Amino acid sequence: MVIMKSTRFVISCLTILSIAFTATANEFVVKLNPYSSKTTTTSFKTNKSLVYFSSLVEKQSQPVNITDNLAVIGLSSTGEPLFTDFVQNPLIIRAESFSPITGFIESSERITKASASLIINNAPLSTKTFLIFFPEYINKKWTWSLLGEYPAQRTSSVSEPTQSSSVTKIIDHGPSDNRVDIVFVAEGYTSSEISRFKDDLKPITSGFFAESPIDNYQKSFNVWAVESISTESGAGYSYPKNTQFRSYFNCYNIVRLLCVDTQRVKSYVSERLPSVARDLIIVVVNSTEYGGSGGSVATMSLHDSAVDLALHEAGHTFGLLADEYDYGSCNAGPTSEANVTYYPSGNKWSHWMGVDKAVDVFEGAKYCQRGMYRPTTNSLMRSLGRPFQSVNSEQLIRRVYDYVSPIDSITLQTLQWSFIVIKNKHFR
């Protein structure tokens, strides 16, 4: 007879694994002037950097909106490449005027400012200089040309949001280093008007998050309200009023172009929020006149159609999407953006053909009536009041995942294993 006696041993194994997304406060500023290059770099250094840059471009998983960006390479004291990035060109203002009645484009211009400050985030502290490249359209193709070599100057950017009543996180879905943070900045509000700024933001944020595909990814976004107080109310016309950010309509003699002092805005926001908490900055001007602008800092008014205009500009700045209308200065050729192509096959979005009946190949896109193609007859990147449509939505979702990991942190709880040890006793 065999009797089995069991003895239970409990082995506890406590393993905690945390994945934390920590932000670096390495922020640099470069003063840019498009008309006076500060090039001092040697051809050897430039060529070596371009090889490094080209290899990274080939590995780039997302398209880059070349025409709106600058390419940056950070160099060590010995000229070794340490860092590369594509950044929004602060010299460019997108002056797009849409009809508030029909939603169709009425005029489109790209304006180059005389000077601007370029903010570069997360470069290593050992970076000594930056090579800045700008896009040029040469022989029917885009290429990167050297603007100049600039010293790496640190900014006084804060590492944590300032505990101030002027800054409110009105939508909080998680840590800023793992979310897309939209910052709405008040402009043209007097001390007696600023109390309604957050109320003015309610229809704006509702409009943003009602739009597909953003509506399904709301928890990937945070929203900040940054108050500022102005001496005068509203915005000027043709010249600024006495407001915090010097806003005015009819900027560059374009009636609906609403301009602000972008460097003043960036400085104001950077004193209150860290770089990880200001992915998209939109200045909300206290005026019901219709207007806005795009660029490194977008502007919008309180007009009912301004939300659509701001979404269109977010499609550029955040989504890296091209304009799909055929009005403007045409440069037909290969493109980097996901929603326009030079090739009539529409190979960029061929995976949508036969899946979404609205997706095909339509001639007329990116300011060209001929020789450039878009994926749908109409979308928000062509006229206001339209949905983004499938191809643009896919690109916006990809961009969300460029900023946001689906996992904020991982913690493995205490694990227990139980073993039964069997002792055999034999009886004769």
Interval 227-285: pLDDT, tens: 999 999 999 999 999 999 999 999 999 999 999 999 899 989 989 999 899 999 999 99
Cα Rg, the chain, nearest whole Å: 26
* Mean pLDDT over each residue of the chain, to the nearest integer: 83
- Side-chain half-sphere exposure of 38, counting CA atoms within 13 A: 12
* 119-150 b/e (C-beta count within 10 Å ≥ 16 → b): bbbebeeebebbbbbbbeeeeeeeebebbbbb
pLDDT for residue 62? 54
Residue 139 clears pLDDT 90, i.e. is over it:
no
Closest C-alpha to 246, from 297, 208, 181, 209: 297
Give residue 1's pLDDT.
35
- 181, 226 in Cβ contact below 8 A? no
Q: Any idea which residue has 């339209």 for tokens?
A: 386
pLDDT of residue 64: 59
pLDDT band of 5, cuts 50, 70, 90: very low
Q: Between these two residues, 48 and 175, which has the higher pLDDT value?
A: 175
pLDDT at 20 (0 to 100):
29
Q: Would you say the C-alpha torsion 327, 333, 336, 339 has a positive or negative sign?
A: positive
pLDDT of residue 9: 30
Q: Could you report how far apart the first and last alpha carbons of the chain are, in Å? A: 8
The mean pLDDT of 45-65, rounded to a whole number, is 59
Decide if 252 contacts 95 (C-beta within 8 A). Answer: yes
pLDDT (tens digit per residue) in 393-403: 999 999 999 99
pLDDT of residue 2: 35
CA–CA distance, 33 with 146 (Å, rounded to integer): 13
Q: How confident is the model at residue 385 (pLDDT cuts 50, 70, 90)?
A: very high
Average pLDDT over every residue of 370-384: 96
Does residue 349 or residue 71 have the better pLDDT? 349
Q: Residue 194's CB: how many other CB atoms inside 10 A?
A: 16
Q: Strands 27-32, 153-154: parallel, antiparallel or unpaired by DSSP?
A: antiparallel
pLDDT at 144 (0 to 100): 79
pLDDT at 54: 63
What's the pLDDT at 367? 92
Q: Calculate mean pLDDT across residues 208-221.
A: 96
Tens digit of each residue's pLDDT (9 = 90 or more) over 76-130: 888 888 888 888 888 888 888 888 889 998 888 888 888 888 888 788 889 998 9
Query: Please, what are the domains in the chain?
Result: 27-154 (no CATH), 167-317 (3.40.390.10)
